[in-house]
Structure 1
Amino acid sequence: MLGPVDVEGPDGPVRIPPGRQQVILAFLLLDANQVVSIDNLVDALWDEDPPDTARTQVQICVSRLRKNLAIGGVNVVIETKRPGYLLRIPGEDLDAHTFTTTVTSARAIARKGRTAEAAGMLRAAVALWRGGCLDGMESRALRTRALRLDEERLSAIEDYLELELHLGRHRTLVGEITHLTHENPLRERLRALLMIALYRSGRQAEALDTYRESRDMLIEELGLEPGPELRLLENAILAGDERLLVPDAAGEPEEPEPRPPASRTACPRQLPADTADFVGHDTVLDAAQAVLTGAQAVLAGGHRAVGVVVITGRPGVGKSTVAAHLGHRVAAEQFPDGQLYCDLRGTRAEPSAAFDVLGRFLGALGIPGPMIPHDLDGRSDMYRTLLAGRRVLVVLDDATSERQVLPLLPGSSTCAVIVTSRARLTGVPGAHRIDLPVLDAARSLALFGAVLGTERVAAEHAAAEALVATVGGLPLAVRIIAARLAARPHWTLASMVHRLASERHRLDELAHGEMTIRASLSLTHDGLDSRSRELFALLSQFDGPSLPGWLAGAVLDDDRPFPSDLLEPLVDVQMLEVSSVARTGEFRYRFLDMLRLFAREKAGAEIPPARRAGAVERVVGGWLALAEQAHRRVYGGDFTVLHGAGVRWQPDPEYVAQAMTDPLDWMAGELENMCAAVGQAVGAGLHEASWDLAVTVATLCELRGHLDEWQQTHQTALTATRAAGNILGTAALLGSLGTLYLTRGQNARAHETLNAALTDFVALDEPRGAGLCRRDLALLARRAGEDDLALSLYGQAIADFGRVEDIVGRATVLTQRAHILSRRGEFAAARADLADAMEINRSVGYAGGVARALRRLGQVQARSGSHDEAERTLVEVLAMVRRSRDVIGEGHLLFNLGEVTAAAGRYEMARRWFTEALEVRETIMDHRGGAVVRTALAGVLERTGEPAEAAGLLEQAVAVFAERGMERERVAADRMFARISGTRRPEE
């Protein structure tokens, strides 16, 4: 509720149609677990002018709402209770309830003096909001109720700002409070907090200017003088009242509890949607379930084996449908730790490689991209280690061979695997094989009636029997024919028998199974209107895992606001299926493989090449436009990225606004589609669009750690730019690849690639590209200890970014340069660079840049001996990286906090920070980083008189350092071990 109404079920987002159903749901949620009268719901829907049928319409809407919630598996019940309805929902399942209870608890904790903890809880509560409460609702009654919650949010923000000012965080809060006052200019409490923050930061004149601006605005807007709080505050500032200074209590920072997020263990839910009208295969399903749940998956020695079910069968028999249904049947109770799913594309020209699939699975299991190994064996080892002891179901759809499947099998007997394939896959060890039969006559009729309607089947029972016999019990063909008849209610079933027989006779040169489906498809396809036939054919060109609705508009160059309407005729006749519902409520669509092949044949035979090429260019242009929008929302503009002259196609602005509510989440959901679009652009000769899309997507891949996709898109696009002699595009891709190699620690390769790109950028006089390369080359020089060279390159990069007014590029350089200045003891210069960087990043709303600059500031403060100040800064950054789900950044911040508190002599606190840092490192399987943390923690334990525990940690660390070739770290840890234990470890 804290934003647009958003419902999440066990299998992902649940779509509640906008309009009356959403209004009713929102009203019931506002009074959750209380009775809401029908009269109140009528008022919410129609204000003061309800129709005569209002109560009946409410009842219909509630009935549909119940059905939608039930289909989505949502844990709520809507009971009919006089004089209306009662929605029962656990409090923890409702974000508004979580917000109010957290705020209440935080305020109680604050009254007990636990200021830092209370401030953190309030920030966490406010972070639940995704916009205005019930954003997008037009109901006047709802808006009035929602405004109360909006007001509570602002009060909570003011509360945590006041608490953090008490903790002495005034300098880091100035930018945030300034932004909030611009958004809420009439809130005097925010103005007062800004004045205090400015005054304590040594900016007395600006604090007084804030008062005068507030007074002028209040007089002009409302004809009122400022309230007593602001007036007294102005007088206190003018008088230099000592009570405005940071309270003494803030001089000694509270010991903040190292509080991890609720859970660091990712629990993926990747199963595709179940089929509502599934029928048949009961015996097969029971046998498969017994294998998956352990009843039959037992080795000769009596030990439990991994349950593996391989489902095979002819095209159209429903292998994927059965696998999805079976997965949902066992998932909730037997595999609560998650379900992994991948379409292995066995029937496509390029099946998915096990290496790439493992990368996606590891990411879904919570491993950040930089931590994922670069080789197949390393990925398989990490995958099996992560799944050891966890109850996870793995579904591998459309496998092509045992070689593709074997690296994806878990090693733990607590897991299970479902595989579908056209091949028998006899080389999969211990697999229970099911050769899926076609449906018998009774089950074919049951499926036919579920799609078409039992009344029409009963009315022409003999014709229905003849139809299902004609299609041979193939579920796909049964569904297609039933859907075709459902879309033509005036057609008799007998007429369809004759049409299908004629079509089969025309296609009698085909194999029986293929002939059956082709006949069904041909009849349905030929019955579509011309626009739907063209759309069906053109859509088949796109290889992404799902099709968003806007893509239909791009394919036909139709700019209507709801382009998904173009797809509904295809869904109605089951030529496309709805695969999922996005968080925005938008449907996602997909082809079955056989339908895609059929559609591509139609495209080649019936659509002119120029029309096909135009559709590809518009779709690629749509992805490019959306990727640009995502980048702008993250970075505050077109900063730190190069663009080319590829054609853009702009989706509907309202769709863009909805999709970009969280641009990084949107990008993560669409990444496979955008990677496919890069390949599509290369195949179509759109070399300019291919590199532009690849480097734009890379800036987002970098933030979420999607390194495989980063490399894949760039290597694909490079083939096109080099073949076309596109020097700028080639340089842009090489420069971006250089950043990737830098991220992976491949320093020599990064140096070579960045220099090659820089040479071309200088020759082209392209300053932004040159600035990006020099920034990264400076970081390489810094890593090599060549600080003078690094400072020279940073200076050139600042000049490059200045030429194109890339202020965020400048801010990233200033943040990095401060590290060298601090290391040299030039603390004032380092602080000045970081202050500039934070001001730039805050001005454009680039939260990631603010966090990095603040972290660097904390390190500068610690290096200069301001340990308490450093701790306050780093605690603030820790909250920021946790909100952004940056687990690598969280590990770094926890380690930094351990270093700072240890340097201040607060060893118990340091121990707690280091312990939590070690937990994070182990969760993401960062063994190198874990060894570094163990060494630091051992130093603390030595200080607290626990030599045995310290020696144990050092032994583990030395083993990792030796294995990874980290000689300097190994020698230092070995020396510490000798000092603590009085003995040297034997050489490895």
Structure 2
Amino acid sequence: MSDVPLRLLGPLAVLDAAGEPVDVGSPRHRETLAALAVDAGRVVSTDMLLDRVWGESGRGGTLANLQAVISRLRARLREAEVPAEIVTAPPGYRLEVDLAAIDAHRLATGLDRAREALAAGDAPAAREHLATALGWWRGEPLADVPQMFARAEALRLEGLRLTGEELAAEVDLMIGDAAAAVVRLQDLAAQHPLRESVRGQLMRALYLAGRQADALEEYADLRARLVEELGVDPGPAVQQLHQQILEQDPALRPATQPAPAAPATTPGPPAAEPPRPSRIPSTDLLGELVGRDRDVDYLVDLLRAPTSRLVTVTGVGGCGKTRVALAVAHAAERHFADGVTLVPLAPLRDPSAVIPAIAHAVGVAEGGDPFAALLDLLRGRDQLLLLDNAEHLLDAWPEVATLAAACPGLRVLVTSRTPLRVRGEVLYPLTPLDLPAATRLFATRAASVAPGSATSADDPDVVDLCQRLAGIPLAIELAAARVRLLTPADIGARLADVMAAEGARDLPPRQRTMRAAIDWSFELLSPTEQAVFPRLAVFVGGFDLRAAEAVLADVLDRRTDGSTDSNHGGSALAVLETLVEQSLVVAEPSAGGTRFRLLEPVAQYALTRLSPADERVARDAHLRHFTDLAAHYEPSLRGPGTVDTLAGIEREHANLVAAVEWSLASGQADAGGWLGWHLWLFWWVRGALREGRRLMEGVLAGAQDDRVRVRAGAVSSALAFAQGDLAFARAGWAVASDLARATDDVEGLPYAYGGIGLVALAEDDLDTAAAVFTETIDLTVVAGLGGEWLWTLSHVWLGTVELLRGDADRAAALVDAALDAGRRRDDPLAVYIALFTAIQVSVVRGDFTRARAQIREGVTLSMDTGDHANLAYLLEALAVVESLDGDGDLARVGVLRGAAAELRAGAGGNVYGYYRPDEALIEQASATARATRGPSYDDDVATGRALDVAAMAALADA
């Protein structure tokens, strides 16, 4: 079985070509591989991978760490020659592997072949297929992967195994091996005591094994359990089997006719009318169902599993629930002896009309109690019901759930924008299309409406448009219909028009436009929910519960008479729960806890429901909340918790930027200035220089508070300096410094004045730089706690000056003081900035072993904090070491310089103009390597540029 190297049916196992186990690395590596394997052949976004693997703990869940894990997995799979490859496929990764190389796929295909053999009457072949399929089972699937995604996949695979066991028992009975069937079925009955098909099979097997009394006792136990737990008697089929056993009916002997395709149920009473298996409309005229193969396959498997009698497909309006459900019905039809029946529910308005509608659809004669008649009929059927559009009839579903529980051969597939909240319901949230499928759908539909168009799925404008439409198929199809008149770029510029654009005339009115699709959900909300929902449109990039509470406080506290009461209107959590259930809000687990978001078309709709007065109230509350949040985060940027704080700001960065932008648009620049002051170090570390500078220049233009003007001037100058704009930085820092002195702003002054020294250092004015840094150190002491971080950096900068002057000992003393202070505060940013100058000191002294150790420490800290600009400088320092160290490797110099150049390009600027003493050494290192490597040097550089960030960082460990 070494041709099946990827095994999920037990603890995760990977085998090489010889069948030997492959060590893929740490538990985190195994978990990441599993997260890709359960969706083998499909793109899994980086966000989804982070949520699946790190979501429950949140520790270390950064993009850089994910890239490092992926890089390690790729290397191990290649080294072991495992026929599986992890490929980069925006917006994430895809595990490319022949599905036959995965044991879970072998299990599923083996069950399919067994059913086909049973249908053909070939019991020995069916038995062989089942033995092979079930032989792959090694225990609980993915038992060593604790995350929720693995538990969900394990549940699905366990359902397949149980189906296989039922089929195997039926084969045992067909070939006369009743004793083997008894052993197998007793196991299944113990696990699923209310499953009538299993208990009926066991009764029949016991009887055929000569154990009539045990068979009758089995019936008595089943009846007692059903009455106690469900309040119902066994179905007619099992009751008839009981009577046949009492009468020792010869018909219980195995038939010679071919077996049915699914596990046989025992004979039941004749149906009221002959079943009509093909009661679902053809989908031929609806066009290709793009990007949903995995959803359809999963749902078909789910409906065949013994644990999934009632499955609800949920999702936002326009995501394609009905279309997918029809495809599932067509694919599953052959597995149900009595076929599939579609019951459209959208025209109904009264929940009490649901049961009569189902009864009529399946052929129950009119008159009498429709529920009782339906229960009697469906107990004897092997049938799938497709109940479409259920969200407005929620009071009907307890009775439907009772039907599903009491009828062993019945499966119910429901489409609804909200869960039904009934016992036994299995939810399947239908998510929007991933980006490749979304762009392919756009191109396909565009070609159908404008055959001569050259619209490509790879067109950047198409990609951007599909991202903004959040992968919602209805929105994408409505947009694609406009390519007859507009280019994709023009459509994107008029996205509001897409909301109102009309689709096919033969669609129901609520599905002809995106606006109508969302209107349908909006009208189902309560007045409080209708007031809350539009306010959520002020968030950008999602939000957490606390942010929602802050923005919604006004409407949730408001009485109907205009006064306020904190107990009125319900909690934000309760309202969000309803909005999530209505598929108007998406709830997603993340490393920082549950986050909520509105898909872009839904957010656009919500804004149209928000009055100007309510919008201002909501945006002002949004600004206050995120200013407070930034103030809360700021101290942790310079001490313990820096990595988690950076991750937290990253999650909320879009909201923080939106809050500053609102402050500028609404005449509240002072508020935005304080938010930017709390946030600026994040912009520096993460290389968001252009955006941060734009915002703080806007603050500087509108601020009234002198303290805000000092800080806005200092920050905008710092970010300009990082971009290499020395003229702006010089002037801005000088103005801010003068203003800070004039207003006695002791905390703001060192941040403004110290920058003047950085410009002097960048321009080789070492005397001025030394004087400014020396005074800045004194100013930071006066500033107190607010100046501790700058005290550390000022020592680094002064140490850089001394190194340029040729005093390595004095430089070392200053940098060591900075390192001690940074480590004492557990401040990774200060430590890795100081480390770079410490590396330069080690290089000047010829201590390359120490320099390499310092580089490794700096690289680790840079990766932890996501500071790719600093990583670039560290890689260049390593290039210098490789060229100067007698044991160095000149072939690595070009690779390191290429990697550094690529990182710096991504950072958007020069970043650190005070990293200067090694500039000549870097150029010398490149010249030496080029002279030695010749034309290969350019190939080395290209190799470095092509590496991902994790592989670049790994160069420090080589």
Which has more radius of gyration?
A: 2
> What TM-score comes out, normalization by structure 1 length?
0.45
